[in-house]
Structure 1
Amino acid sequence: MLRLLFYIFIGWILYKLVFDFIIPVYRGTKQVRRQVRDMQQHMQEQFRQQQQQQQAPPQPTSPSAPKREKGDYIDFEEVK
């Protein structure tokens, strides 16, 4: 009888260990890994976009617009 109670107690302890500790830790670790992977992918995408923007040649100004030097005066009309 005492041996049966001991086995039941050990079984209950193992059940609690597995379902209250091991499985939640496993799920939490899996979720954290997924979030870290997603964050790394997001950062790599941003880095690639920045690299592409830096490598892209600057857009030339339109030839119809005259280049103005510093100090040029631009006429304007006041609108009421």
Structure 2
Amino acid sequence: MRYIFYILLGYVLYRFITGFLIPVFRTGKQIKKQFNEMQQRMQDQMQQQPSSAPPPQQQSAKRSPVGEYIDFEEVK
């Protein structure tokens, strides 16, 4: 009876390890690899883009006002 229990326990552990743990580790490793590749591509694209464009704050400072501001007055 004891041997049957140990054999059954060994079989369940074997199925758990080969059916769950190994695929989880492989998937985690693959996701990590793809994430690192995507991060490397993003860094490469950032380096290839020209940095000669001025920031948006400088563009808004160069604009002249279109008209003068008139306060709103409520009419009764």
Band of TM-score, shorter chain: 0.5 to 0.7
Identical counterparts, % of pairs:
44
Aligned-partner residue type, residue 18 of structure 2: F
> Could you tell me the TM-score, scaled by structure 2's length?
0.66
The structure with the largest alpha-carbon Rg is: 1
Q: Is there any run of 5+ residues in structure 2 with no aligned partner, and where? A: 53-76
Aligned partner of 2:23 in structure 1 is 24
Spell out structure 1 runs of 4+ moving beyond 6 A.
none
Question: How many residues are treated as equivalent by the alignment?
Answer: 53
> Could you tell me the TM-score, scaled by structure 1's length?
0.63
CA drift at 1:47: 0.6
Aligned partner of 1:49 in structure 2 is 48
Aligned partner of 1:9 in structure 2 is 8
Aligned-pair RMSD on alpha carbons?
1.4
For residues 9-47 of structure 1, give each alpha carbon's deviation from its aligned partner in whole angstroms, at most 9, with x where no partner exists. Answer: 000010001100000000000000000000000000001
